[in-house]
Amino acid sequence: MSVRERLSQAAFELFAERGFDETTVDDITARAGTGRTTFFRAFGSKEEVVFPDHDSLLASVQARLDAAAPGGEAVALAEAARLVLLHYLAEGDLARTRYVLTRRVPALRAREIAGQRQYQRVFLAFARQWYGEGSRADLHAELLADAVVTAHNHVLRQWLRGRTDTPESDFDEAMAEVLRIFGSGSDSTAGIVVLRTGRDLDDVLPGLRRLLD
Amino acid sequence: MSVRERLSQAAFELFAERGFDETTVDDITARAGTGRTTFFRAFGSKEEVVFPDHDSLLASVQARLDAAAPGGEAVALAEAARLVLLHYLAEGDLARTRYVLTRRVPALRAREIAGQRQYQRVFLAFARQWYGEGSRADLHAELLADAVVTAHNHVLRQWLRGRTDTPESDFDEAMAEVLRIFGSGSDSTAGIVVLRTGRDLDDVLPGLRRLLD
């Protein structure tokens, strides 16, 4: 275990035992067996200990998006968001303890929201590049970036609250739903016909297919 | 002008002249010609002066949603969000000054985000009731509530930055786009046929209409 991980584990134990506000940096370093200087080389503040992997995770998300091939944007978005989910799942109890802490301590909640906005901005920049110029494209990019974050948070929260044992497949379904709702790209509606009918679809489909092919 | 409005106007003038942190409550009451007690009867804090109508606006949004008739949910959502936009448009320069302030002062930005989350929660509760039970319905409700807020903020921001002179019609278009993306309700796909074709749509549409009617 690295010094960073030892400090992080000691901090979470103490937050769970005494509460966040009641734990000092000195308490944490005493438990981890390090000095204050070591602590502040590893973390900027007591708040930062709660989100130790935020920066590296954000970088992984960015790297996955940067690696998107033309035509593979939707998959890249889903896989980038999936990296974040998998990270929390791998944390296990640590993620659950953080969830409880962020609900109780406003400073941590504020930092969590700021962190989420960073993901949102990374997804937004990617979606803007994908959808191209224009005010409608821009609105779509914003809606898509928000939807990806919302769908991720939705599944993560269900898992954190112990309401699902299948977060990975839940996530895949949720992300498929988002991509279905938004189509697979800005020009996905080219050549698509949408019509409403009161007739039985099985009756009309053969005729439709003949007409369109 | 009410005492509340006088205090609010004095505060915004001073924030613009000196900055938010550099303005004290005493400065504000001196400019408005009232005492400290009057100030704190009207507002809980200096931050609250920046969002004087938040509570009443949130109540109007809730009231519009509460008045939704069955089948009129989509219209109610759009009109409720429109109330918020119209409020900012009516504020004019005050809204623009607030926009500059919230970007500069983290405490105000945090309060603004908290306020937005209240709208989001109101829209979410409404969408949940509309879409009904089930985990997929719940995801949809979250996505829709977020999309309504995102579309509203998108248009408002364009207007605050002086990039559009037609915020109302922009808003109507953005909201129509959101409702189109999400369908007009959970069973909106009943009787809808979606097909992709490489043929010219003008050529095939008459035949399609004949087939489906």
Chain A contact for B210, CB < 8 A?
no
Give A170 to chain B, closest Cα distance, Å.
10
Residues β-bridged to residue B195: A193
B84 alpha-carbon distance from chain centroid = 5
Chain B contact for A90, CB < 8 A?
no
Same domain, B25 and B101: no
User: Is B211 inside any structural domain?
Assistant: no
**Contact criterion met (CB < 8 Å) for A192 and B195:** yes
Please state the pTM of the whole predicted model. 0.79
Same domain, A172 and A73: yes
Furthest CA-CA distance within chain A: 78
Same domain, A68 and A161: yes
Same domain, B15 and B70: no
Q: Which residue has the tokens 């605050």?
A: B160
Same domain, A44 and A64: no
Q: Which residue has the tokens 């991980």?
A: A5
User: Is A105 inside any structural domain?
Assistant: yes
Same domain, A104 and A147: yes
**Contact criterion met (CB < 8 Å) for A195 and B182:** no
Same domain, B129 and B71: yes
User: Is B192 inside any structural domain?
Assistant: no
DSSP designation for B137: H
User: Is A199 inside any structural domain?
Assistant: no
Predicted local confidence at residue B89, as pLDDT: 97
Length of chain B: 213
Chain B contact for A196, CB < 8 A?
yes
DSSP designation for A53: T
User: Is B136 inside any structural domain?
Assistant: yes
CA separation for the pair B93, A85 (Å, rounded): 43
Predicted local confidence at residue A191, as pLDDT: 46
Q: What angle do CA A80, A81, A87 make, to 5 degrees?
A: 95
Which amino acid is it at B165? D
Radius of gyration from C-alpha coordinates of chain B: 22
User: What end-to-end distance do the CA atoms of chain A give, in Å?
Assistant: 62
Same domain, B10 and B83: no
**What tens-digit pLDDT sequence spans chain B (213 residues)?**
889 989 998 998 898 888 899 999 999 999 999 999 999 999 989 988 999 889 999 999 999 999 999 999 999 999 999 999 999 999 998 899 899 999 988 888 888 988 999 999 999 999 999 999 888 899 999 999 999 999 999 999 999 999 999 999 999 999 999 999 887 544 444 444 555 566 776 677 777 767 766
Q: Which CATH number covers residue A124?
A: 1.10.357.10
CB proximity list for B130: less than 8 A, separation 6 or greater: B73, B141, B185, B186
Q: DSSP letter string over B67-130?
A: TPPTT-HHHHHHHHHHHHHHHHHHHTHHHHHHHHHHHH-HHHHHHHHHHHHHHHHHHHHHHHHH
Q: Which CATH number covers residue A34?
A: 1.10.10.60
CA separation for the pair A103, A15 (Å, rounded): 13
Q: Which residue has the tokens 């977020």?
A: B146
Q: Give A49-107 pLDDT, tens digit per residue.
A: 999 889 999 999 999 999 999 999 999 999 999 999 999 999 998 899 899 999 988 88
User: Is B58 inside any structural domain?
Assistant: yes
For residue B9, give its domain range: 3-48
**Contact criterion met (CB < 8 Å) for B211 and A207:** yes
Q: Which residue has the tokens 């938004």?
A: A182
Considering CB atoms only, which of A143, A194, A211 is closest to B211?
Answer: A211
Q: How many domains does chain B have?
A: 2
Considering CB atoms only, which of A150, A170, A211 is closest to B207?
Answer: A211
Same domain, A37 and A82: no
**What tens-digit pLDDT sequence spans chain A (213 residues)?**
889 989 998 998 898 888 899 999 999 999 999 999 999 999 989 988 999 889 999 999 999 999 999 999 999 999 999 999 999 999 998 899 899 999 988 888 888 988 999 999 999 999 999 999 888 899 999 999 999 999 999 999 999 999 999 999 999 999 999 999 888 544 444 444 555 566 776 677 777 767 766
User: Is B205 inside any structural domain?
Assistant: no
User: Is A208 inside any structural domain?
Assistant: no
Q: DSSP letter string over A90-124?
A: HHTHHHHHHHHHHHH-HHHHHHHHHHHHHHHHHHH
Closest CA to A38 of A65, A8, A68: A8
Same domain, A39 and A125: no
Same domain, B20 and B104: no
| Helix and strand numbers, DSSP H then E, in chain A | 11, 1
Predicted local confidence at residue A2, as pLDDT: 87
Same domain, B108 and B36: no
